[in-house]
Amino acid sequence: MIVYFNGQFIPKENVGISPDDRGFLFADGVYEVIRVYHGQLFQADRHWQRLARSLGELRMDGLDLEIFGQIAGRLLDENHLDNSDALIYIQITRGAAPRQHAFPGQETPVTIYAAASPFTPSPEKMERGVKIILMPDIRWARCDIKTVALLPNVLAYQQARDGGAEEAVFVRDGAITEGTHSNFAAVFAGQLVTYPQSHYILAGITRAVVLDLCRELNIPANEFPIFEKDLPHADEMMLLSTASEITPVAQVDHWQVGNGKPGPITQKLQQAFRKLVD
Ligand code: PDD
C-alpha cells in the first residue's frame, strides 16, 4: 500500500513516526475520513472545510488544504482504487518535538499522513437495521473538533461490540448527543430530530447531507435535543456517518424500535442518498 507521509508517496511500511510526535504523546492532532464512491470523493469540500475548522481550533493554521484533493487523487491512483469504493484517511499532528505541554516553536513542521483503503459497505445492516446501546457521554466538551483523542469513543464502542451492538450512542444531561463514530437522528410523528450543531457533537457531513435531503423532500427536520426518556416514543431512529451512510436502528439496549424494521422516512432518505451518490 502506498501512503502519503510528509510530502512523499511511499510504501506504508516505510513510514517512520517519531516517538516525540505530539500525536503519539498528546493526541495533539486532527483527522478526516472521506468516502470514495467509484473513485470519486463524496462531499469533499465539506470535509476540507471541517478539516480547516478543526485545525483552526487547535491553532494549527496556515496549511494549504488544496493539496489534500490532489493527495487523495494520487493515493487512489497509486493503489489502483480509481474505480473503487474506498475511504481516504487524513491525519495531521502538531509535529515532533521534545515532550512538553507548550506548543513547539514555529519551526517544527506538522506531521501529515494520508492513506486510501478499499471499503466494502455492508448493505444488510442498512436494510435490516442495527442494535445500539446507550452510554453516558463522558467525553470532553469540544466534540465538534475532529481530534484523534478518541479513547472515550473507543471504550464505549468496544462495550457496544461486547454486547452484540453496532454502535454506542452517548447521553449527556439526559439528551442523546451522537454515537461513537456516527451522528444520531430520530423521527417523531413524521418529523426528523437530531441534536443541535454545538460543541457536544461532531458536525457530521452525512448529518448535513440528510438535513439537505429533508429540505428537498419536504420532510420537517428540527435540530433539537432528544431526551432519553422520550426515545421510546420515536417511530424511527438512524445512525448517520461516512461509512454507514444512513443505517436504521432496530433495537436500543433490550427494546425494539417501532416494529423493528426500517421506517418510511428512513427508507425515503436512504433512497434519496443513493440517488445523490449515483
Ligand atoms: N466518524 N460523530 C462522530 C463522533 C464521528 O466520529 C463521526 C465520523 C460522525 C459522523 O460524521 P461524518 O458523517 O462526517 O462521517 C459523527 C468517522 C467516520 C470515523 O471516526 O471513522
Per-residue pLDDT reduced to its tens digit, 218-233: 999 999 999 999 999 9
Q: Determine what percent of the chain is predicted with pLDDT higher than 90.
A: 97
Predicted pLDDT of residue 245: 98
Q: Determine what percent of the chain is predicted with pLDDT higher than 70.
A: 100
> Residue 203 and residue 182: Cα distance in Å, rounded?
10
Predicted pLDDT of residue 61: 87
Pocket test residue of 87, 150, 181 for ligand 1, highest count of atoms within 8 A of CB? 181
Predicted pLDDT of residue 65: 86
Pocket of ligand 1, beta carbon within 6 A: 33, 178, 181-183, 202, 204-207, 240-243
The CATH homologous superfamily to which domain 123-277 belongs is: D-amino Acid Aminotransferase, subunit A, domain 2 (3.20.10.10)
Listed range (5-19, 55-69, 130-144, 222-236) with the worst mean pLDDT:
55-69
Which residue ranges make up each domain of the chain? 2-118, 123-277
Banded model confidence at residue 51, pLDDT cuts 50, 70, 90: very high
CATH entry 3.30.470.10 includes domain 2-118: yes
Per-residue pLDDT reduced to its tens digit, 197-209: 999 999 999 999 9
Q: Are 113 and 91 in contact (CB under 8 A)?
A: yes
Predicted TM-score (pTM) of this structure: 0.97
Banded model confidence at residue 121, pLDDT cuts 50, 70, 90: confident
Ligand 1 atom nearest the C-alpha of 146 is 6
12, 125, 131, 146: the active-site residue? 146
Ligand 1 atom nearest the C-alpha of 33 is 18
Predicted pLDDT of residue 176: 98
The per-residue pLDDT of the chain, averaged, comes to 97
Ligand 1 atom nearest the C-alpha of 241 is 13
**273: phi then psi, degrees, rounded to nearest 5:** -65, -45
Predicted pLDDT of residue 151: 98
Quote the radius of gyration of the chain (alpha carbons, Å).
19
Give the 3-state secondary structure of the chain: CEEEECCEEEEHHHCCCCCCEHHHHHCCEEEEEEEEECCEECCHHHHHHHHHHHHHHCCCCCCCCHHHHHHHHHHHHHCCCCCCCEEEEEEEECCECCCCCCCCCCCCCCEEEEEEEECCCCHHHHHHCEEEEEEECCCCCCCCCCECCCHHHHHHHHHHHHCCCCEEEEEECCEEEEECCCEEEEEECCEEEECCCCCCCCCCHHHHHHHHHHHHHCCCEEECCEEHHHHHHCCEEEEEECCCEEEEEEEECCEECCCCCCCHHHHHHHHHHHHHHC
Banded model confidence at residue 18, pLDDT cuts 50, 70, 90: very high
> Pick from 131, 220, 229, 216: which is nearest to 176 by CA?
229
Predicted pLDDT of residue 119: 96
pLDDT at 69 over 90: yes
